[in-house]
Amino acid sequence: MSQYDLIVIGTGITGLAAARQAAKEGLVTAMLEERFFGGLIVNINELEGEVEGSGSDVAAGMMREAAKLGVKNITARASAVARSGEALVVSTDTGELRARSVIIAAGARLKALGVPGEAEFEENGVSHCADCDGPFYKGQDVVVVGGGDSAVQEALVLADFAKHVHLVHRGDALTARPALAGRIAAHANISVHSNSDLEAILGEGSLTSVRVRTGTDTRELACAGVFPYIGLDPAGECAPPSIARDAGGALVTDANLQTGLPGVFAAGAVRSGYGGLLTHAIAEGTAAAQSAAAHCRGSAASG
């Protein structure tokens, strides 16, 4: 059973920032990821805000930094975290790992619409990456579901490829940042459907339309693709049941990002109170690593 000072669960931007900082703090660090590093950000070709470049390039750069600092990258799925004496044990599908501290930075997954046809057309008309799949819908109509930053960003990307983009959302007004939402007006091929719910995704063999309800009115919108962006579900399943969650399932921490289990920290989209911006992800990962380092130094001194 391998022993580390710190195990970081998740290699999205938060996890990469945590692993990088932990190595700088002198901690023997491993990071766990079941699939690919970078998280949801790798689907974004052009980042907006203080961090510039493509999501994949930013993630790759941080991954290289962590590797150069000696962080071990382990391909495994973390299933549980538990205390065993003075150590924390992380159970994975490839075995158990021991550490003095753990940072859960498992991020979040896109929420499903939960409507008929969604599962049937997943990756065959239902997509979660406009940058990746937009070119496949050149000259066709598509539907984006959601009214926040991600939904509006995807609609703007798709407008460069699709014949027409229908942006369907439940609210009276978009919740995206005003500067972002304001860009929709410059695209004549984007229509916003407010106070509307997507009720079903339709087609036989291939996706052909969606059924949308606005008040008491139900209608079908012809389309070839659907892009749902209605929010995120925190991916904190590996955390012990004893750790408090908020109403949305995100892990509750104190001001130092420590959960109710000493030595176990949470940061990023898995944590209650996370701000949601890329700069917040980097800041929280860095802060969690600093808190983990202080915990390790304290436990070493007491031992």
Cα dist. 278→48, 162, 185, 192, 225 in Å? 9, 28, 26, 27, 28
Return all residues near 16 (Cβ < 8 A) that are at least 6 apart: 31, 37, 38, 59, 62, 63, 66, 285
Total tally of structural domains belonging to the chain: 2
In a domain, 165, yes or no: yes
Where a domain ends, among 228, 257, 289? 228
Residue 239: which pLDDT band, with cuts at 50, 70 and 90? very high
Q: Does residue 239 belong to any structural domain of this protein? A: yes
Same domain, 171 and 41: no
- The pLDDT of residue 46 is above 90: no
Q: What is the pLDDT of residues 190-203, one digit of tens each?
A: 999 999 999 999 99
Find how far residue 4's CA is from the centre of its chain: 26
Q: Answer whether residue 300 shows pLDDT above 80.
A: no
Residue 15 reports pLDDT greater than 70: yes
**What CATH number has the domain bearing residue 206?**
3.50.50.60
Same domain, 9 and 100: yes
- Both 209 and 285 in one domain: the answer is no
- Phi/psi at 110 (5° precision): -65, 135
Could you tell me if residue 119 is inside a domain?
A: no
- Are 204 and 246 contained in the same domain? no
Per-residue model confidence as pLDDT tens digits over 22-34: 999 999 999 999 8
**What is the identity of the amino acid at 27?**
L
pLDDT digits (tens, 9 = 90+) for 145-190: 999 988 998 999 999 999 999 999 999 999 998 988 999 999 999 9
| Domain extent at residue 77 | 2-110+232-302
